[in-house]
Structure 1
């Protein structure tokens, strides 16, 4: 017997997709907003581990450049740097160039946190790769387009 995919079925599927996507976003947000130790004895928040990663990936940046790179204010960057110093994740160094400037360097503890943060990202990549491994080119293109449109809509709302 031939069954037709009706508008009602499509509406139900779209509603289910919306529910699943929102549940996934909430679950991810809850996980991501928790403080984590990243293999150290010190809890780090999302903004802190991403600043550490920025400092690691961009050596010799001063506080204003770090703020620009992360898209945050200089004040927010300064506060995060102070917290990371107190947590012994970074140290400030004066770099002698034409004019001296203060740059941040990771401590061994900061290096450990960055390494474990990178490992966490690699775990996400592995999970996603395993889920998508049997997808064809059209399915991947659809998913990429959907996610880009969703991201754009979120930014505009």
Structure 2
């Protein structure tokens, strides 16, 4: 009986944490620049920063999203001066994408945000044994797998 109660409490707590994280993640942020960015935009900036000089097709394939979605987001980012398009020196008919100075500022600020999240997780794990951490990791991996099978 007690185990069943704890499972219900854990489920509710997990859903509350997910909801709180989603609320925070949905906010538009400026990431150290003068222009607000949506989640899809900063994640594309992050990808371009990690993989400079890729074309739209490469980005779409690697991020597993449509070329149309990539193109639309890149268009918005170009208008906001976060990215620049150029010609691939190895294939003149191919357009590649790179970050502007403003794009690199947003990229670095987004990395700081990730380090902040890392520190929150780390503080929650302080004092936990390696076995306890492995149990948490196993639980999250199993839950992720079950959710991805739907």
TM-score between both structures, scaled by the size of structure 2: 0.96
Aligned mates of 2:65, 2:21 — CA distance in 1: 22
The answer (yes or no) to whether the contact 2:30–2:36 under 8 Å persists in 1 is yes
Equivalent position of 2:140 in the other structure? 147
State whether residues 84 and 98 of structure 2, in contact with CA within 8 Å, keep that contact through their aligned partners in structure 1.
Answer: yes
Whole-Å separation in 2 of the counterparts to 1:55 and 1:130:
30
- Where do 5+ consecutive residues of structure 1 fail to align? 1-7
User: Could you tell me how far 1:99 is from its partner in structure 2?
Assistant: 4.3
SS of structure 2 residue aligned to 1:20: helix
- Report deviation, 1:31: 0.8
Q: Which has the higher contact order (CA 8 A, sep 6+)?
A: 2
CA-to-aligned-CA distance 1:24-67 (integer Å, 9 cap, x gap): 00110111111111111111111110110111111111010011
TM-score (norm 1): 0.92
CA deviation after TM superposition for structure 1 residue 71, in Å: 1.1
Larger Rg: 1
Deviation at 1:148, TM superposition (A): 0.4
Q: Deviations over 1:86-114 (max 9, x none)?
A: 11111111122144311111111111111
Alignment partner for residue 134 of structure 1, among 107, 127, 130?
A: 127
